[in-house]
């Protein structure tokens, strides 16, 4: 299947049962120029999952209208079958039901089950410039949630970056905003950290780089010049570098698990 998102929506023209549920007409993609279109395909009239979707979208019709979007449903049934279904159980929907009896539109949108001559549950959001901005295709056993479609529609209409679970009214992501510093947990808060190291020591450098990346402030003692630091090492008999002092805990050598535990970051 060719990707549609980000491309011009495939053109179409189909017969419809009008939104009033009584009259027949025709509809084309060009009729929706300048508007958002929720175009959704379903497999067949007089089935089980389909009416739950069709009525769910009907119940949300006012929300879609408030968002400047129109709804168009499509199946491979005839407009006469649509009419019979609305009169015998489905009820009026308030949006048109299109009939793709040639199967061309289903094929163009990549939702046609060729062997059965019916559509998968494909849904497409088409923007006012008639570009496909969103698509989702379900197995025919699973219905779609119009509230999620409304959420995605609102996100697209912001023109910004919307994270997972974003809801209408929330802020979008500003990539230019400075990143918040990583919080320091547990014992690292308010605890003095000192690193006894030597120039050129790769283990010393690795420990200091970790502390910096974790946002931990520390005092560095250069053992090549600091007399008090040298006396500290001699008094304790430390030979492995670095020596990392976290509060009252002294860790000799490159032992990252111990350092992280002492910082409360393990």
pLDDT, one tens digit per residue, over 228-238 is: 999 999 999 99
Which pLDDT does position 213 carry in this prediction?
87
Looking up tokens 């802020």, which residue turns up?
171
Please indicate whether residue 50 is annotated as part of the active site. yes
Which pLDDT does position 188 carry in this prediction?
52
Structure tokens at 2: 């060719």
Question: Which of the listed residues 158, 177, 198 is the one where a domain comes to its end?
Answer: 158
Q: What is the pLDDT of residues 110-148, one digit of tens each?
A: 999 999 999 999 999 999 999 999 999 999 999 999 999
Indicate if 203 and 135 belong to the same structural domain: no
Which pLDDT does position 13 carry in this prediction?
98
In a domain, 143, yes or no: yes
In a domain, 248, yes or no: yes
In a domain, 252, yes or no: yes
Looking up tokens 């409304």, which residue turns up?
150
Which pLDDT does position 1 carry in this prediction?
65
Whether 266 and 217 have beta carbons less than 8 Å apart is answered as no
Which pLDDT does position 179 carry in this prediction?
60
Indicate if 82 and 33 belong to the same structural domain: yes
In a domain, 194, yes or no: yes
Which pLDDT does position 125 carry in this prediction?
98
Local structure of residue 88 (DSSP, 8 states): I
Helix (H, G, I), strand (E, B) or coil at 209: helix
In a domain, 37, yes or no: yes
Structure tokens at 132: 């496909």
Q: How many domains does the chain have?
A: 2
From 50, 60, 106, 162, the catalytic residue: 50
CA angle 17-54-108, nearest 5°? 70
Which runs of E-coded beta strand occur in 12-88? 13-17, 24-28, 36-41, 69-75
Cα–Cα distance for residue pair 123/118, rounded to 1 Å: 15
Local structure of residue 130 (DSSP, 8 states): S
Looking up tokens 């949630």, which residue turns up?
145
Which pLDDT does position 174 carry in this prediction?
85
Indicate if 211 and 141 belong to the same structural domain: no
Which pLDDT does position 124 carry in this prediction?
98
Indicate if 137 and 74 belong to the same structural domain: yes
In a domain, 176, yes or no: no
Cα–Cα distance for residue pair 211/194, rounded to 1 Å: 11
Indicate if 17 and 112 belong to the same structural domain: yes
Which pLDDT does position 187 carry in this prediction?
44
- Look up the domain containing 150 and give its range: 13-158
Cα–Cα distance for residue pair 95/168, rounded to 1 Å: 24
Domain CATH for 150:
3.40.30.10
Indicate if 27 and 108 belong to the same structural domain: yes
Nearest of 34, 226, 103, 189 to residue 243 by alpha carbon: 226
Question: Which of the listed residues 143, 158, 173 is the one where a domain comes to its end?
Answer: 158
For the chain, list residues with pLDDT below 70.
1, 178-190, 266
* Intra-chain end-to-end CA distance of the chain, in Å: 47
Structure tokens at 23: 């009259």
CA angle 126-127-131, nearest 5°? 70
In a domain, 47, yes or no: yes
Which pLDDT does position 191 carry in this prediction?
84
Looking up tokens 């490159």, which residue turns up?
254
CB atoms within 10 A of CB 175: 7
In a domain, 234, yes or no: yes
Q: Name beta bridge partners: 249.
A: 246
């Amino acid at each position: 299947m060719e990707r549609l998102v980000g491309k011009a929506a495939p053109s179409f023209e189909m017969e419809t049962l009008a939104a009033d549920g009584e009259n027949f007409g025709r509809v084309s993609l060009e009729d929706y120029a300048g508007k958002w279109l929720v175009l959704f395909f379903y497999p067949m009239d007089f089935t089980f999952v389909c009416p739950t979707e069709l009525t769910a979208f009907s119940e949300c019709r006012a929300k879609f209208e408030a968002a400047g979007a129109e709804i168009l449903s499509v199946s491979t049934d005839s407009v006469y079958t649509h009419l019979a279904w609305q009169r015998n159980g489905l009820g009026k929907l308030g949006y048109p039901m299109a009939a793709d009896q040639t199967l061309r539109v289903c094929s163009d949108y990549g939702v046609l089950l060729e062997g059965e001559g019916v559509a998968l549950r494909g849904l497409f959001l088409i923007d006012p410039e008639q570009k496909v901005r969103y698509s989702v295709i379900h197995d025919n056993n699973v219905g779609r949630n119009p509230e999620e479609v409304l959420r995605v529609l609102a996100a697209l209409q912001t023109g910004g970056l919307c994270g997972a679970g974003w809801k209408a009214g929330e802020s979008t992501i500003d990539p230019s905003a400075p990143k918040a510093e990583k919080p320091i947990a547990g014992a690292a808060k308010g605890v003095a950290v000192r690193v006894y190291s030597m120039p050129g020591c790769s283990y010393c450098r690795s420990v200091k780089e970790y502390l910096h990346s974790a946002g931990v402030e520390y005092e560095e003692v250069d053992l090549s010049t600091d007399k008090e630091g040298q006396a500290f090492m001699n008094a304790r008999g430390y030979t492995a570098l670095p020596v990392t002092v976290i509060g009252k805990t002294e860790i000799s050598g490159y032992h990252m698990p111990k350092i992280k535990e002492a910082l409360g970051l393990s």
